[in-house]
Amino acid sequence: MTTIIQLMVSGLLIGSIYALMSMGLTLIFGVLRVVNFAHGEFLMIAMYGAWAFNRLLGLNPYFAAIAVVPAMFLFGALVYRVVIGSALDKPHLVVVFATMGLSIFLQNAALMAMTADLRDVPPIFARSISIGHIFIKGELLLGFVVTLCCTLTLQWVIKHTFLGKAIRATVQDGEAAKLMGIAVPKIFLITFAAGSALVGLAACVMVPLFSVFPTVGLNFVLIAFVIVVLGGMGSIEGALLGGFCVGVVQSVSAYYVAPAFGQLFFFLLFLLVTIFRPNGLLGQKGAATLGMNE
């Protein structure tokens, strides 16, 4: 019994961190309607940044967020300007291949700059926290807290600020938003940059838990995709819920079946969701059938 609870708790916590990593992706999809296939590489770059911060300044990677998050915001804005912006009015395939190309570029640029060696940050917390018989790693719990705060902040911004309203308007009807004086391309830019900044935050939280290497993005991007679809593309709360599901499924199946099969189960979960609830658990009705450019 304790085992199951332990697995579920660990699963929920790691799932929340996965969710944080996926929020940027779902936000970008919800507003721009593009899937950034280089999402994993954005995470990788930010993780290297957090690691470097820790190595060079000896500071806690959580403090690195002060530098990494704004840096990722600017990086996202740059990528939007150079690659994404001009691809938006072209057939959908162009964005797909352009971001895939970007993904390969970033992986190999990192390989050239940093070599394939694994980089780690020393653990922050000396001991796990224990509640009864359940052990919780401090880094996981902190990640969970950061994710919740982030979710609440995002929800507040979306509901109560003008920017949030402008974003919601753009999501619902880009043409009408333009006519109302909303600079839709600027909204796209801000959203893409903000999504990238979110990835930066996730990286700071993940660096104490995972090693960094040039292809680390590949593992995580697939998880992020599953979470985004599971939760409903464009839904922040959905990403959180999706993250929890994935975390728990992975945790439980890795223990009871085999670690290698951990991934298999959440892909199967993904496929089941796409068959039976393609809009995800909390997504807009019809989102999955709208696709692109229609």
Partner 1 sequence: MTVTPAKTSAKTTISGLPQRGRVSWFEIILLAVCAIWVALGLAPTLQDVVVLSFLFGGLALAWNIAGGCAGLISFGHAAFFGIGAYTSTILFQSYNLTPWLGIFVGAVAAALAGAVLSVICARLKGPFFILSSLAFSEVVRIIVLNWSSVTGGAEGLSIPPVPDLANMVLGSKTAYEALMLAYLALAYAITRWLEASRIGFYLFAVRDNDDAAAAAGINPLMVRSLAMAMSAALTGIGGTLFAQYFLYLDPTYVVSPELSFQFALLPAVGGLGTAIGPILGSFLITPLSELLRANLGNAAAGLHLVFYSVGLIIVMLYFPSGIAGAIDKLRQPRSPP
- Choose one: 3-11, 14-22, 103-111, 190-198; the region binding partner 1 (CB under 8 A): 103-111
- From 15-23, 121-129, 198-206, 272-280, give the range in contact with partner 1 by CB under 8 A: 272-280
What are the angstrom distances between the C-alpha of 51 and each of 38, 204, 208, 283?
20, 8, 9, 35
Residue 27: name the closest of 202, 213, 145, 181 by CA.
202
DSSP 284: P
What is the C-alpha to C-alpha distance for residues 279 and 186, in angstroms, rounded to an integer? 27
DSSP run (H or E) holding 234: none
- Shortest gap between Cβ of 93 and partner 1 (angstroms)? 6
Task: State the nearest-atom distance from the C-beta of 186 to partner 1, in Å.
Answer: 21
Beta strands per DSSP E along 98-211? 129-131, 134-136
Q: Going residue by residue from 180 to 219, which x/- string records binding to partner 1, judged by CB under 8 A?
A: ----------------------------------x---x-
Assess 275 for contact with partner 1 (CB under 8 A). yes
Tokens of 227: 């979470």
- Please tell me whether residue 31 binds partner 1 under the rule CB under 8 A: no
Q: Is 5 in the site for partner 1 (CB under 8 A)?
A: no
> In sequence order, what are the residues at sequence separation of 6 or more whose Cβ sits closer than 8 angstroms to the Cβ of residue 4?
252
Binders of partner 1 among residues 217 to 236 (CB under 8 A) are: 218, 222, 225-226, 229, 233
φ, ψ of residue 135 to 5 degrees: the values are -105, 135
**271 is a site residue for partner 1 (CB under 8 A):** yes
Hey, what are 133's tokens? 């018989």
Q: Point out which residues bind partner 1 (CB under 8 A).
A: 29, 34-35, 83, 86-87, 90-94, 96-98, 100-105, 107-109, 111-112, 115-116, 214, 218, 222, 225-226, 229, 233, 258, 260-261, 263-264, 267-268, 270-271, 274-275, 278, 288-293
